[in-house]
Structure 1
């Protein structure tokens, strides 16, 4: 009887183990480059000075923050629902090649910024300063003078 029970437990372990090993993580991290250095994180942060930040797509909950300086931020994919892209203070150029998902935000923040995004189901906000915003379609930008 014990031998049969052990065989059943071993067989169950062999079936369950591969399932546990192939499970996907609850949240994928953003794959970005900050001033040429690869960064994989859910919270990508620039420096107090001017930065060059490029990323692929951002998943829900991911954040990119240029902080101070005149930053160039480029997202080559989409900005998933709930993700946030912040230019920070300084004259920032933020470009989102893909779409901006529901509940996602692209924020210029302080100073004169240029924001350009694809289809927008979220929020594009120039912030304070004289900002130029371009949205391909969807929700119109706010706090943009041009």
Structure 2
């Protein structure tokens, strides 16, 4: 009897194990947008000026300031951070190898401490970009 119970439990564990080991969904990012906590895989500002702060932007998550003159502050960007149209001020501590910072249209100010991914001021506007260490920025006039 004990032997049959042990076999049944082993067989059941083989069926359950693949369910436990399946690929987990990627984590959502939590930020504050204009003082309100927002969690999701895409964090988007308003068409006007926004104040967005995030500790971490996870891989496959996006932060987009949208229109207006936005202030965006991120500790670690492992996913894309975009200012959107407008004169944006973006600061990031570390851009991970899968992360990016994009100023987009407008005269943007971008400051990154360590860039292991990409920092791009965008094609429209005059952009001021400073990267302390790592990959140099592109499309920055100053």
Whether TM-score is above 0.5 comes out as yes
Query: Aligned match of 1:92 in 88, 92, 100?
Result: 88
Tell me which residue corresponds to 1:79: 77
Q: Is the aligned partner of 1:65 residue 2:64?
A: yes
Alignment partners' CA distance in 1, 2:138 and 2:35: 32
Picking from 132, 135, 139, the partner of 1:136 is 132
Note the 1:1-146 alignment, pairs <5 A. 5=4, 9=8, 25-76=24-75, 78-80=76-78, 83-97=79-93, 99-127=94-122, 128-146=124-142
The 1:136/1:112 distance shift into structure 2, 3 A limit, reads same
Change (3 A) 1:11 1:85: same
Q: How many residues align?
A: 141
Instruction: Provide the secondary structure at the position in 1 that maps to 2:95.
Output: coil
- Tell me the TM-score normalized by structure 1: 0.82
In structure 1, runs of 5+ residues without a counterpart are none
Aligned partner of residue 37 in structure 2, secondary structure: strand
Mapped partners of 1:88, 1:26: distance in 2: 27
Partners of 1:132 and 1:13 lie apart in 2 by 60
In structure 1, C-alpha distance between the alignment counterparts of 2:81 and 2:109, rounded to whole Å: 13
The separation in 1 between residues aligned to 2:48 and 2:11, in whole angstroms, is 56
Alpha-carbon offset, residue 4 of structure 1: 6.4
* Cα RMSD, aligned residues only: 2.7
The alpha carbon displacement at 1:25 in A equals 3.9
